[in-house]
Protein backbone atom coordinates (compact mmCIF):
# COMPACT_ATOMS: atom_id res chain seq x y z
CA UNK A 1 0.00 0.00 0.00
CA UNK A 2 2.43 2.64 -1.16
CA UNK A 3 1.69 5.98 -2.73
CA UNK A 4 0.91 4.50 -6.14
CA UNK A 5 -1.63 2.08 -4.68
CA UNK A 6 -3.32 4.93 -2.87
CA UNK A 7 -3.54 6.95 -6.04
CA UNK A 8 -4.95 3.98 -7.91
CA UNK A 9 -7.60 3.48 -5.24
CA UNK A 10 -8.53 7.12 -5.39
CA UNK A 11 -8.90 6.99 -9.16
CA UNK A 12 -10.83 3.73 -9.12
CA UNK A 13 -13.21 5.02 -6.47
CA UNK A 14 -14.02 7.95 -8.70
CA UNK A 15 -14.22 6.07 -11.99
CA UNK A 16 -13.58 2.38 -12.40
CA UNK A 17 -14.52 2.34 -16.06
CA UNK A 18 -11.26 3.80 -17.28
CA UNK A 19 -8.90 1.54 -19.16
CA UNK A 20 -5.89 0.04 -17.52
CA UNK A 21 -3.64 1.91 -19.93
CA UNK A 22 -5.12 5.25 -18.86
CA UNK A 23 -4.71 4.46 -15.20
CA UNK A 24 -1.17 3.29 -15.80
CA UNK A 25 -0.29 6.56 -17.50
CA UNK A 26 -1.93 8.52 -14.70
CA UNK A 27 0.15 6.90 -11.99
CA UNK A 28 3.27 6.62 -14.12
CA UNK A 29 3.51 2.87 -14.55
CA UNK A 30 3.44 0.43 -17.43
CA UNK A 31 0.05 -1.17 -18.15
CA UNK A 32 1.19 -4.60 -17.05
CA UNK A 33 2.56 -3.41 -13.76
CA UNK A 34 -0.50 -1.32 -13.10
CA UNK A 35 -2.79 -4.24 -13.84
CA UNK A 36 -0.93 -6.45 -11.41
CA UNK A 37 -1.32 -3.88 -8.67
CA UNK A 38 -5.03 -3.57 -9.24
CA UNK A 39 -5.41 -7.31 -9.23
CA UNK A 40 -3.55 -7.50 -5.96
CA UNK A 41 -5.82 -4.87 -4.45
CA UNK A 42 -8.72 -7.09 -5.46
CA UNK A 43 -7.20 -10.25 -4.10
CA UNK A 44 -6.27 -8.75 -0.77
CA UNK A 45 -9.80 -7.43 -0.46
CA UNK A 46 -8.98 -3.74 -0.32
CA UNK A 47 -11.17 -3.38 -3.37
CA UNK A 48 -14.39 -5.10 -2.41
CA UNK A 49 -16.20 -4.88 -5.72
CA UNK A 50 -16.87 -2.88 -8.85
CA UNK A 51 -20.42 -1.62 -9.15
CA UNK A 52 -22.62 0.62 -11.24
CA UNK A 53 -24.02 3.57 -9.30
CA UNK A 54 -27.41 4.64 -10.60
CA UNK A 55 -29.03 8.03 -10.69
CA UNK A 56 -31.87 7.48 -8.20
CA UNK A 57 -34.18 9.99 -9.85
CA UNK A 58 -33.82 8.38 -13.26
CA UNK A 59 -34.19 4.94 -11.72
CA UNK A 60 -37.50 5.89 -10.16
CA UNK A 61 -36.41 6.21 -6.53
CA UNK A 62 -36.61 9.89 -5.75
CA UNK A 63 -37.48 9.74 -2.09
CA UNK A 64 -34.97 9.28 0.69
CA UNK A 65 -35.91 8.82 4.31
CA UNK A 66 -34.09 8.14 7.56
CA UNK A 67 -35.72 6.22 10.36
CA UNK A 68 -34.31 6.14 13.87
CA UNK A 69 -35.55 3.31 16.01
CA UNK A 70 -35.77 2.71 19.73
CA UNK A 71 -36.39 -0.88 20.78
CA UNK A 72 -38.30 -2.19 23.80
CA UNK A 73 -35.57 -4.58 24.75
CA UNK A 74 -32.11 -3.34 23.87
CA UNK A 75 -30.16 -6.58 24.21
CA UNK A 76 -27.70 -7.43 21.49
CA UNK A 77 -29.73 -10.32 20.16
CA UNK A 78 -32.81 -8.11 19.81
CA UNK A 79 -30.91 -5.44 17.96
CA UNK A 80 -29.45 -8.06 15.68
CA UNK A 81 -32.84 -9.52 14.96
CA UNK A 82 -34.22 -6.14 14.06
CA UNK A 83 -31.30 -5.33 11.78
CA UNK A 84 -31.67 -8.65 10.01
CA UNK A 85 -35.33 -7.99 9.44
CA UNK A 86 -34.64 -4.50 8.13
CA UNK A 87 -31.83 -5.73 5.89
CA UNK A 88 -34.26 -7.96 4.05
CA UNK A 89 -36.16 -4.93 2.80
CA UNK A 90 -34.90 -3.89 -0.64
CA UNK A 91 -35.76 -0.25 0.09
CA UNK A 92 -33.43 -0.27 3.09
CA UNK A 93 -30.00 0.62 1.73
CA UNK A 94 -28.26 1.08 5.07
CA UNK A 95 -29.07 -0.42 8.46
CA UNK A 96 -26.98 0.28 11.55
CA UNK A 97 -27.12 -0.24 15.24
CA UNK A 98 -25.88 2.89 16.93
CA UNK A 99 -24.81 4.25 20.28
CA UNK A 100 -26.91 6.76 22.15
CA UNK A 101 -30.61 7.30 22.66
CA UNK A 102 -31.73 5.31 19.68
CA UNK A 103 -30.81 1.71 18.95
CA UNK A 104 -30.90 1.61 15.19
CA UNK A 105 -30.85 3.83 12.15
CA UNK A 106 -32.17 2.97 8.70
CA UNK A 107 -31.57 4.76 5.45
CA UNK A 108 -34.29 4.23 2.88
CA UNK A 109 -34.66 4.65 -0.88
CA UNK A 110 -38.32 4.98 -1.73
CA UNK A 111 -40.54 5.32 -4.74
CA UNK A 112 -43.41 6.98 -2.92
CA UNK A 113 -45.24 7.33 0.37
CA UNK A 114 -47.19 4.16 -0.12
CA UNK A 115 -43.99 2.20 -0.17
CA UNK A 116 -42.93 3.83 3.11
CA UNK A 117 -46.30 3.07 4.62
CA UNK A 118 -46.08 -0.58 3.64
CA UNK A 119 -42.54 -0.84 4.92
CA UNK A 120 -43.22 0.69 8.33
CA UNK A 121 -46.24 -1.56 8.60
CA UNK A 122 -44.01 -4.59 8.09
CA UNK A 123 -41.14 -3.48 10.33
CA UNK A 124 -43.05 -1.83 13.17
CA UNK A 125 -46.18 -3.88 13.66
CA UNK A 126 -47.35 -4.51 17.20
CA UNK A 127 -45.74 -7.84 17.91
CA UNK A 128 -42.32 -6.37 17.03
CA UNK A 129 -39.83 -5.19 19.58
CA UNK A 130 -39.97 -1.55 18.53
CA UNK A 131 -40.83 1.00 21.22
CA UNK A 132 -40.65 4.15 19.14
CA UNK A 133 -39.49 5.25 15.74
CA UNK A 134 -39.02 8.56 14.08
CA UNK A 135 -39.04 9.21 10.36
CA UNK A 136 -37.13 12.10 8.78
CA UNK A 137 -37.20 12.92 5.09
CA UNK A 138 -34.19 14.03 3.16
CA UNK A 139 -34.85 17.46 1.74
CA UNK A 140 -31.56 18.21 0.09
CA UNK A 141 -28.51 16.11 -0.57
CA UNK A 142 -25.31 18.05 -0.03
CA UNK A 143 -23.06 15.09 -0.58
CA UNK A 144 -23.37 11.43 -1.29
CA UNK A 145 -20.29 9.48 -2.18
CA UNK A 146 -18.99 5.95 -2.02
CA UNK A 147 -15.47 7.29 -1.87
CA UNK A 148 -13.43 6.60 1.22
CA UNK A 149 -10.48 8.92 1.78
CA UNK A 150 -7.26 6.92 1.73
| Residues contributing to the site for its own copies (CB under 8 A) | 9, 12-17, 44-56, 58-61, 64, 66, 79-80, 83-84, 86-87, 90-100, 102, 104-105, 109, 134-150
Residue closer to DNA, measured from CB, 10 or 64: 10
Selection from DNA, its own copies, none that 36 binds (CB < 5 to 8 A by kind) is DNA
Q: How many residues does the chain have?
A: 150
Selection from its own copies, DNA, none that 35 binds (CB < 5 to 8 A by kind) is DNA
Q: 64 with 107: CB under 8 angstroms?
A: yes
Residues ≥6 apart with Cβ < 8 Å to 3: none
Instruction: Give one DSSP letter per residue of 18-32, joined into a string.
Output: S-HHHHHHHHT--HH
Q: 104 with 96: CB under 8 angstroms?
A: yes
Binding residues for DNA, rule: CB under 7 A, are 4, 19-21, 28-37, 39
Amino acid sequence: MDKIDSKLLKLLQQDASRTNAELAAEVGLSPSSCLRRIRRLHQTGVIDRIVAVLNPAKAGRTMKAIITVELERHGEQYVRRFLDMAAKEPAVVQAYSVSGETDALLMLRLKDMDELDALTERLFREESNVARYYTAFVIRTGKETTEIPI
